[in-house]
Amino acid sequence: MTPSTIVWAVSGVMLLMGALCMTLRRQLLAMVLGVELMINAANVNIVYYAAQWKDPAGLAIALLVIAMAAAEVVVGFSLILRLNRIGVSADTGELRDLAG
C-alpha cells in the first residue's frame, strides 16, 4: 500500500465515524466529538498533501483549522453548559427550539 492510500483510508474511516457520531448519537456532547473527528480527518489529508507538494500554505491552513476547531468547541460547549445551567436536557430528541 502506498502512503496516500493509507492516509485516504484513515481519513475516510475517521470522517465516516464522525458522520455516524453526528447522526447516531443523541447527546450534544457526543455530536461535538463527531465534529472533532471529521475536522481531524480533513486535517490529516491537508497535512499529507502539504508535505507531499512541499506547500507551506497547506501547513498554515492546517494550523488555522486546528485553531478554528478549538474556537468551535469552546462555543459548542458554552451552549451545552448554558443548556445544562437552565435545566434543559442536552438530548437532541428533547430540544425543540433554541430561541430561549
Q: How far apart are CA 9 and CA 96, in angstroms?
A: 37
- Give the number of other CB atoms < 10 A from CB of residue 41: 20
CB of 38 to other proteins, least distance (A): 10
How far apart (Å, rounded) are the C-alpha atoms in residues 92 and 99? 15
Report the C-alpha gap between 97 and 4 in whole angstroms.
43
Contact residues toward other proteins (CB under 8 A) are 1-3, 6-7, 9-10, 13-14, 17-18, 20-21, 24-25, 27, 29-30, 32-34, 36-37, 40, 43-44, 47-48, 50-52, 54, 56-57, 59-64, 66-75, 77-82, 84-85, 87, 89-91
Smallest distance, other proteins to C-beta of residue 98, A: 14
